[in-house]
Amino acid sequence: MQTYLVGGAVRDRLLGLPPGDRDFVVVGETPEAMHARGFKTVGRDFPVFLHPKTGEEYALARTERKSGRGHRGFVVDAHPDVTLEQDLERRDFTINAIAQAEDGTLVDPFGGERDLKARVLRHVGAAFSEDPLRVLRAARFMARFGSLGFTVAPETMALMRGMVESGELAELVPERVWQELVRALASATPSAFLQTLRSCGALGVVLPEVDALYGVPQRAEYHPEVDTGVHIELVCDMAAMIAPGDDVVGFAALVHDLGKALTPADVLPRHVGHEHAGVAPLRALCERLKVPRQHADLGRIACREHLNVHRLFELRDRTVHELLVRCDAFRQPERLAQLALVCEADKRGRAGLQDSAYPQREELLRLLAAAQSVRAADVAREGLEGPALGEALAQARIRAIRAARATPVPDDEDA
C-alpha cells in the first residue's frame, strides 16, 4: 500500500513547529481493499478511513471537479488511477501540497518547500478559485503564521479579490465561516486574519459589523492609534497574548466596540453610549453566524460592561455588586475572569500602551471573592424569605466588598 504523510504534518515539521495530527493519502487502492486491511470508513463526501491500530486518518488519493456554487459544489473522483500529484494539485496552498514518503523523501511538485522558506502563502493552481472557503482559510493561515513573517502572494491576493467580487462568499454556510473565525481568534495574530480579509474585500462580506469600524476615529488622548478598526486588531492580538488559545475571550475582544460604528458623525471622535449601542449589531452577528452561546454571552457582557470595569476604582460599593450580578458572576465566576481579560486587552490594545498596568483585573476578581464569601445561610433568619432574603444577602455582600476595599492589597514582598 503506497501511503504518504501529507498536509499540515509535513508543513509544520519543515517549519520546526510542534507536530499536530497526522493525515495520510493512499495511492492506488479501493475502499474494498482498505476494508480488507481493517480500516474503518469515516468520510461521507469522500473516502476517508481510520487506521485499525493508530486511529489516524487515511484518505484515498482523489481529484475534485467543480459542479455548483459554494464550497460543497464538487464532484469527487477517488479512482485507483488517481496519482499523488493529482491529489496534491487539488489542495489550497503550496505549503499544504507537500507529501512525505515512508522513507522520508519529499514529494513537492508545486514548490511548497520553496514557499515555506520564503514565507509566502501561494495558491496551488487556478482551481483555488472554485472554493470560496479558501479565502477564509488564507486569512486564518495568516493569523497562525503571520508572526513568522508570512505574506500572501500578490497573485493569490488578486485571485481572492476576484472570488469576493464574484459573490460566491455569500454561499458559505455560517458554520464554516464561524469555524475559520474561531480558529483565527485562537491563533497568535488574529489581526492578520482581519487584515487579509479586508485587503481582498471579504471582511465586509463575512463580518460587516467589524469592517464598519475601520476609518471611525477615536479620541487620540485615549486611543493613540485613532482608527477604531486598528484598535480592534490590537485588542485581538493582545487577547491572544494574555489568554492564548481562548477563542471565547478572543471573540469578545473582537466585538466589544461594535457600537462605535454607529456613533453619529457630528459627535465623533467621542463615543458616548457606544457600549449599549453595540448590543444590537452584536446580536445580528451572532444570529447570522450561529455563534455558540458561551461566546455570545461573553461578547454581550464585554460590549456592555467594559467601561464599567475600566472605571472599577471609581464605582460605589453597591454599583460594583450590581456589576457582579449583571455578569452572573456568583454562578459563573469563570466568565467574570474572562471579562477581566477582555478589558485588560482593551486597555493594553492601544498604540504604545501594550505594557500598561491593568490593576482592575485583579481587583475585580478580589472583590468577587470577598462577595462570594457571604452565603445565604449567613444572613438567613427566621421569617426572612423571598425578596427580603435576597436584599439581605445583597447588603451583606456589599459590606464585604466595602471591607475588602478598605483592606490594603499586600505587596509581593509582604505576601
Write the secondary structure of 64-77 as one string of H (helix), E (strand) and C (coil). Answer: EEECCCCCCCEEEE
**Can you say whether the dihedral through the CA atoms of 342, 347, 350, 354 is positive or negative?**
negative
CA neighbor of 135 nearest in space, from 184, 179, 197: 197
Element (H, E) at 236: helix 228-242
Which residue, 364, 365, 361, 351, is CA-closest to 235?
351
Does an H or E element contain 194, and which?
helix 190-199
Round to whole Å and give the CA distance between 398 and 256: 28
Please tell me the distance from the alpha carbon of residue 68 to that of residue 130, in angstroms, as a whole number: 9
Please state the φ and ψ torsions of residue 263, each to the nearest 5 degrees. Answer: -65, 130
pLDDT tens-digit map of 89-136: 999 999 999 999 999 999 999 999 999 999 999 999 988 998 999 999
What tens digit of pLDDT does each residue of 183-230 get?
999 999 999 999 999 999 999 999 999 999 999 999 999 999 999 999
Q: What is the pTM of this model?
A: 0.91
Please identify every stretch of the chain with a pLDDT value under 50, giving residue numbers as ranges: 70-71, 412-415
- pLDDT (0 to 100) of residue 383: 62
Tell me the one-letter amino acid at 20.
Answer: G
Residue found by looking up cell 477582555 in the block: 342
Can you tell me the distance from the alpha carbon of 394 to that of 136, in angstroms, rounded to the nearest whole number?
48
The answer, yes or no, to whether the previous bond of 109 is cis (omega within 30 of 0) is no
Of 49, 45, 42, the residue nearest 25 (C-alpha): 49
Residue type for 138, please? A
Give the DSSP letter string of 300-359. HHHHHHHHHHHTGGGS-HHHHHHHHHHTTTTT-HHHHHHHHHHHHHHHHSSTT-TT---H
Residue pointed to by grid coordinates 447588603: 395
Q: What is the pLDDT of residue 415?
A: 37
Distances (CA, A) of 215 to 68, 154, 165, 225, 347: 37, 24, 22, 11, 20
State the DSSP string of 102-143. Answer: TTS-EE-TT-HHHHHHHTEE-BSSGGGGG-THHHHHHHHHHH
Which domains, and CATH codes, for the chain?
1-113 (3.30.460.10)
The C-alpha cell at 354 is 501594550
